[in-house]
Structure 1
Amino acid sequence: MYQVPTGFPKNFLWGGAVAANQCEGAYEYEGKGTSVADINEFRADLPLEKRSNAEISTSYIEEALNSKTGIFPKRWGINFKETYPTDLKLLGGMGLTLFRTSIDWSRIFPNGDELEPNEAGLLFYDKLIDEIIANGMEPMITLSHYEMPLNLTLKYKGWYSREVVDFFVRYCKVIFDRYQGKVKYWIVINQINLIGHESFNHLGIAEDKVENLQEAKYQGVHHMMVASALATEYAHQVDENYQVGMMLCGGPEYAATCNPEDVLATLKINQMQYFFADVLLRGYYPGYAFRYFEEHGIKLEFAAEDEKILKHTADYLSFSYYYTQICDATHDEPYRNKALPANPWGWTIDPLGLRTLLNSFYDRYQCPIYITENGIGCYDQLEEDGSIHDGYRIDYYKAHIEQMKEAIKDGVDLRGYCAWGPIDIISCSSSEMSKRYGFIYVDQDDYGKGSQKRYLKDSYDWMKKVIASNGETL
């Protein structure tokens, strides 16, 4: 007789997640090439909702590379490349059993198309991974998290060019071979469905190098999915213990009303977010995607071998969860639900949406699930005594962890959870430091100024108790 779970499984992984480009710094150090993230500029003169790098032209790239006055915070991050031993000790001391980070592709293959990797870059990740393990955490490694070598944009056309598939798979093979026996959990492509808000960072396609940008984005994602399947196939050949996952930026989107037309419009929008996981977890393109491409005049090129390659599916689904939106039949894109509270950047707070999404995903795929990003960006105040009272962050996590527990009771096979940015890092979308997520405060401002000293927030001790109780003490 089936027993309804009473809480988190005993082997549940409590983790934190960062991205190399947002924390490491060390721009052009030890042979590192320039990545797409290294030209993300911080613009304090723009309103919060406009501070992103969705679409970029080659002229902007040249200006950024030659700029003497622009502010590019991801070039210095939080100096994690030097501070990682002490930072990981703090994170391990909180009780984390999982630490997700990425390997910066441009640190391993500076131009992306070399035949041999940069050994200095690999030596850094040797030490980093060893330190993660030494502090009691399982490493979860993302292979592509907005760190594509910029040369692949300029010399080719980013992921739109089929050649990039081979370049990426070569890089993946180096990493899979190198860390056999040390890393078990992998994510090939971060948030593979995020081709709107972060399209340039994600795909490396300069808008003026293609005739039809929307078509080019889907062609680029197709190449990404082929590369993911090839990487997954190779990983399973290297080590049968490797668990290779795929990752979505999660929703869900709600219908604005009970009008059947709004419900159908919402279904269609959600389908085209599920589409990426349908391919990478089921191994084939769904019919609704082909209809979408036809109705939007999108023509994709498939190589003869692609259908067979895509059969090499991922072992688990992972996703990020930050907010939900609403849809209706009169809008092409989802939009903010003003009935929900939000952070200063307009990201709505919807804990129940996390339970809804977990159930939707598990019903659809019936595979292990990891939440690999969840958190809230806020302005934090460092007090004179070094304290940071972030009760709002505690409230956020408490509500979301409660809904995770409810989803597990629903039967969802949820195996791990990563709080996003467990230590303050540079914001992905806006390249600012003041949008803080961490349990650990980094004394640094949007311009890279500050002592860089680390301080523990109130949420640090709270989360430590949560982990120690395996989610029972909230």
Structure 2
Amino acid sequence: MNRVPTGFPRDFMWGGAIAANQAEGAWDVDGKGWCIADINEFRDDVDITKKYNDEVSSTYVKEAMASTTRIFPKRCGIDFYHTYKEDLKLLAGLGLKTFRTSINWARIFPQGDDEQPNMAGLQFYDELFAEIRKNGMEPMITISHYEMPLHLTDAYTGWASREVIDFFERYCQVVFDRYHDLVKYWIIVNQINLIGHESFNHLGVAEDKVSDLASAKYQAVHNEMVACARATKYAHEHYPDLQIGMMLCGGPAYAASCKPEDVLATLKHNQMEYFYSDVLLRGRYPGYAFRFFEDHNITVVFGEHDEKDLENTCDFFSFSYYYTRVVSKESYEHGNEAVRNQELPANPWGWTIDPTGLRILLNEFYDRYQKPIYITENGVGYYDKVENGQIHDDYRVNYYREHIRQMKEAIRDGVDLRGYYAWGPIDIVSCSSSEMSKRYGFIYVDLDDYGNGTGQRIKKDSYTWMQKVIASNGEDLD
């Protein structure tokens, strides 16, 4: 009997994904507090291949909050806070079945430790989620996507403080109680394994507030995973129809060579990439993590009930996919680093393009967890040029075509892939470089890196192509 699927499931969830901090703007509107993204600065004096959100000191935070001359593009985004109705109509025109965005934590709890939520923030998301549904799209909502209230990084030590577990648990309970009728699919934390390049952005731990930054990061992500497990337990007990997911950034790297020492180094590296999903999907710490902590002099303190809390596992696995990297014995010993694969082409920012890697990861992750999988981010940043009111982006079409082909192959391999979310279906501010010129969307937004422009939305050539792909359920890729 032939049991190999012939293509995408009929109910496959074709979607698009953005984040509140990169799109909404309105950073000081309707009672919203300062959040971490509000101090992500645009720099035009840094090589574009080296732009990422580095470690941050408490001094930098104070100076950024006080500055009136520096550029912080995420404070304005693309003004989605005010344009979401028009933007959602354009996105629905693609044929999207689902749309992923996030809740800005600082809109709901402006300080993070507030006793009561901000009602204006709750009302905004009431209207946004209803509008997503009105346009025929199923919402998938991320609860924490680099929008931690900045107060929690100063009055506490971000996620390194156990108090934040309780604050976050209260936040999750409020949004589950408020939106459970509108939102069935939830991701609690975006790309939970990013504790390197998105360290402060993700964890809120200022480097000058701790004596051992490595231990503080792993303590922070431990506290975060405990909070995720508690939130999952609450959702399952109160709203059993909700689907709760966890999310990684990318995944395992390739070995730089077939030398056993490179293969072993790659294994060790990869283990500490999927460590987070092992905990949140299997319900316990794996032995290799304790060995890693011992070998690297890292201290993580467990609370009395943490191990029991962590038994509350998520329902599905999700991940973002942009590129693959390679690991050698030397790069591993140089801080557990993965480096660019020079065998592959890359975009101008040095992000390698590897469609086959997507099939490999889908198989590896499904073999490991046997859970439904959603690709919750995939896309490529390029410079786009407007010519006579049009954007001819065949390079973007080529990228998506090859990645969708590999997704179909993974489904034929037996992977239970339920959905696919193109990252940035409308142009938004880049996460890593805080610039607009690194564009991902099928819809162009007329704003530059300095916030200048009309804000006009223009459909790119890729918009029409993606319409055809979705209408054919992934069969017509020409």
Q: Give the TM-score normalised by structure 1.
A: 0.99
Letter matched to residue 73 of structure 1: P
Query: Which residue in 1 is equivalent to 2:366?
Result: 362
Matches within 5 A, 1:120-159: 120-159=120-159
Determine which of 399, 403, 413 is the counterpart of 1:396: 399
- 2:413 pairs, out of 372, 395, 410, with 410
State whether structure 2 residue 429 is matched by structure 1 residue 432: no
Within 5 A, what are the aligned runs for 1:60-209? 60-209=60-209
Contact 1:380 1:388 in 2 (8 A): yes
Q: Is 1:219 the equivalent of 2:219?
A: yes
What are the equivalent positions in structure 2 for 1:40-59 lying under 5 Å apart?
40-59=40-59
The structural deviation recorded for 1:304 is: 1.1
In the other structure, the counterpart of 1:423 is 426
Out of 442, 445, 450, which is 1:442 matched to? Answer: 445
The amino acid of 1:450's aligned partner reads G
Partner of 1:17: 17
In structure 2, the residue matched to 1:26 is 26
SS in 1 for 2:329: coil
CA RMSD of aligned residues (A): 0.7
- The CA distance in 2 between the partners of 1:202 and 1:257, in whole Å, is 32
The amino acid of 2:269's aligned partner reads I
Residue 58 of structure 1: CA displacement?
0.5
| Partners of 1:174 and 1:54 in 2: CA distance | 32
Letter in 1 for 2:175: I
What corresponds to 1:378 in structure 2? 382
- The alpha-carbon deviation at position 2 of structure 1 amounts to 5.6
- Cα distance in 1 for partners of 2:237, 2:135 equals 29
1:160-211 Cα distance to aligned partner (Å, 9 max, x none): 0000000001000000000122110000000000000111100000000000
Shift of 1:236: 1.0
Q: Which residue of 2 aligns with 1:470?
A: 473
1:27 Cα deviation after fit: 1.2
Give the corresponding residue for 2:307.
307
Whichever residue aligns with residue 40 of structure 1, its letter is N
Q: Which runs of 5+ in 2 are unaligned?
A: none
The CA distance in 1 between the partners of 2:237 and 2:368, in whole Å, is 27
**Could you list the per-position Cα deviations for residues 60-79 of structure 1 after superposition, in whole angstroms to 9, with x for gaps in the alignment?**
00110111110000000000
Structure-2 separation of matches of 1:26 and 1:364: 41
Alpha-carbon separation, structure 2, partners of 1:399 and 1:8: 15
Report whether the alignment pairs 1:258 with 2:258: yes
2:449 matched to 1:453? no
One-letter code of the match for 2:315? D
Counterparts of 2:298 and 2:2 in 1: how far apart (Å)? 47
Match for 2:73: what amino acid? P
Distance 1:149 1:456 in 2: 34
What is the distance in 2 between the residues matched to 1:119 and 1:50? 40
Letter of the 1:366 partner, please give it.
Answer: Q
The letter of the residue matching 2:180 is Q
Say whether the 8 Å CA contact 1:423–1:438 is kept in structure 2: yes
Distance verdict in 2 for CA 1:253–1:184, change over 3 Å:
same
Kept in 1: contact 2:57–2:208 (CA 8 A):
yes
CA contact (8 A) 1:20 1:103 kept: yes
Match of 1:338 in 2: 342
Unaligned runs of 5+ in 1: none
8 Å contact 2:49–2:348 — kept in the other structure? no
Give the CA deviation at 1:252. 2.8
| Pair 1:351-2:338 in alignment | no
Q: Is the 8 A contact 1:251 1:325 kept in 2?
A: no
The answer (yes or no) to whether the contact 1:108–1:118 under 8 Å persists in 2 is yes
The 3-state SS of whatever aligns with 2:344 is coil
Q: Distance in 2 between matches of 1:227 and 1:76?
A: 30
| AA of the residue aligned to 2:285 | Y
Q: Which residue identity lines up with residue 9 of structure 1 in the other structure? A: P
Q: 1: CA distance between counterparts of 2:299 and 2:2?
A: 48
Instruction: After superposition, give the CA deviation of every residue in 1:134-168 in whole Å (9 maximum; x if it has no partner).
Output: 00100000000000000000000000000000000
Give the residue type in structure 1 aligned to 2:4.
V
Secondary structure in 2 aligned to 1:270? helix
Quick one: percent identity of the two aligned structures?
A: 68
Quick one: distance in 2 between partners of 1:11 and 1:55?
42
- The one-letter amino acid of 2:97's match is T
2:338 and 2:194 map into 1 onto residues whose CA distance is 14
Q: Is the 8 A contact 2:226 2:310 kept in 1?
A: yes
CA drift of 1:52 comes to 2.1
Specify the code of the residue in structure 2 equivalent to 1:360. Answer: E
Shift of 1:418: 0.2
- The letter of the residue matching 1:221 is V
Kept in 2, the 8 Å contact 1:252–1:353? The answer is no
Q: Secondary structure at the match of 1:330?
A: helix
Q: 1:42, 1:51 within 8 Å by CA — same for their partners in 2? A: no
Amino acid at match of 2:351: W
Deviations 1:100-155 (A, max 9, x none): 00000000000000010000001000010000000010000000000000000000
Instruction: For 2:46 and 2:328, locate their aligned partners in 1 and report how far apart those are by CA, in whole Å.
Output: 29
CA distance in 1, matches of 2:331, 2:90: 46
Q: Aligned partner of 1:413: which letter?
A: D
**What letter corresponds to residue 377 of structure 1 in structure 2?**
G
Tell me the residue number matched to 1:249. 249
Letter in 2 for 1:257: S
Describe the superposition over 1:36-92 as per-residue Cα deviations: whole angstroms up to 9, x where unpaired: 010000000111133222210011001101111100000000000000000000000
Q: Deviation of residue 256 (structure 1)?
A: 0.8
CA distance in 1, matches of 2:53, 2:282: 31
From the superposition, tell whether residues 388 and 288 of structure 1 become closer, same or farther in structure 2 (CA, over 3 Å): same
| TM-score normalised by length of structure 2 | 0.98
Alpha-carbon distance in structure 2 between the residues aligned to 1:252 and 1:287: 18
Partners of 2:257 and 2:52 lie apart in 1 by: 30
Equivalents in 1 of 2:137, 2:29: separation in Å? 27
**Deviation string, structure 1 residues 328-374 (Cα, Å, up to 9, x no partner):** 11112110011100000000000000000000000000000000000
Report SS of the residue matched to 1:378.
coil
1:270 aligns with 2:270: yes
